Amino acid sequence: MRWDSDIILQYLNELPKAILDCASPTGNTMLHQVAREGNTRLFDMPVGKSVNISAKNSRNETPLYIATQRLDTSLIKRSLEAGADATITTDPRCKCVVGGLEERGDSLTSSDGSIVEAVHGALCIYNLSLVGFMLGHGVDLSWEDWEGRTLMEVVLLKFVSDKSINLILNGCGKRMLSDSWERLTFGCSSFRFEENTVRRLVEGTVAARGSFENQRDFWGATTLHNFASSRCVLGVKLLLEKGADVFAHDEFR
């Protein structure tokens, strides 16, 4: 259904908030439909009247969820600025899936932790400003997308640069899982980074794990192995200063 913004706005301005919050039999509110249409004019008006921006329909989808599936940068930002919950998940067993669908046997169910899909999608289209904006609104960096990849892994697979890595490091804080550091240092060690980025990677590795005994990738290689193999002299130097075991060996010995 297509809406005429001017006519609808004139009509909606006369309605109380309670009416604007009403949902269809499928649970869709006006904001759900607006998100599907990508109509920012119609989005701003009800939000200005403090409607429930995190309302869920019968498929457990919020307007923010719909905006993320469309990678609608404008509506994603508007939703988060208006207070939409960026950490909503309706079922902790669900992974966030493109399109909101996850196959379980013969059934399809939907989940709404899909803000991570928007972050991953923004990375895929190289929109670092949108990634930074969403990280600033509490996105959990350990969430996995529909392929089971964390935000870290998407960064490493799509593009690696000082700017992107530092953006992720800035958003890590205490929420970053230690194994994500392992993936990060393993994936980044073969690239040439600025001195500050290398220092941050090393400091983050130490802070996340506390020691170097178990910091190994799936080949059994330590962070020291990875930096050494890529001839990252500064990385090797800093790791040794932090007490890395120079005699550690990988599965190939």
Written as one letter, the residue type at 82 is: A
**Orientation angle between helical segments 128-135 and 73-81, nearest 10 degrees:** 20
Q: Which residue has the tokens 């919050």?
A: 21
Strands (E), the chain: 101-104, 107-110
Domain chopping of the chain, boundaries: 5-176, 177-253
The CATH number of domain 5-176, selected from 1.25.40.20, 1.10.3720.10, 1.10.10.10, 3.90.550.10? 1.25.40.20
Tokens of 40: 């920012």
Q: What is the pTM of this model?
A: 0.47
pLDDT per position as a tens digit, 63-119: 877 777 676 778 877 887 887 766 544 433 333 333 333 333 222 233 334 455 555
Phi/psi of residue 104, nearest 5 degrees:
-135, 100
- CB neighbourhood size of 56 (10 A): 20
- The yes-or-no verdict on residue 51 having pLDDT over 80 is no
Residue 50 binned pLDDT confidence (cut-offs 50, 70, 90): low
Query: Which residues have CB under 8 Å from 149's CB, separation 6+?
Result: 120, 157
Euclidean distance between CA atoms 144 and 223, whole angstroms: 23
H-helix or E-strand spanning residue 124: helix 115-124
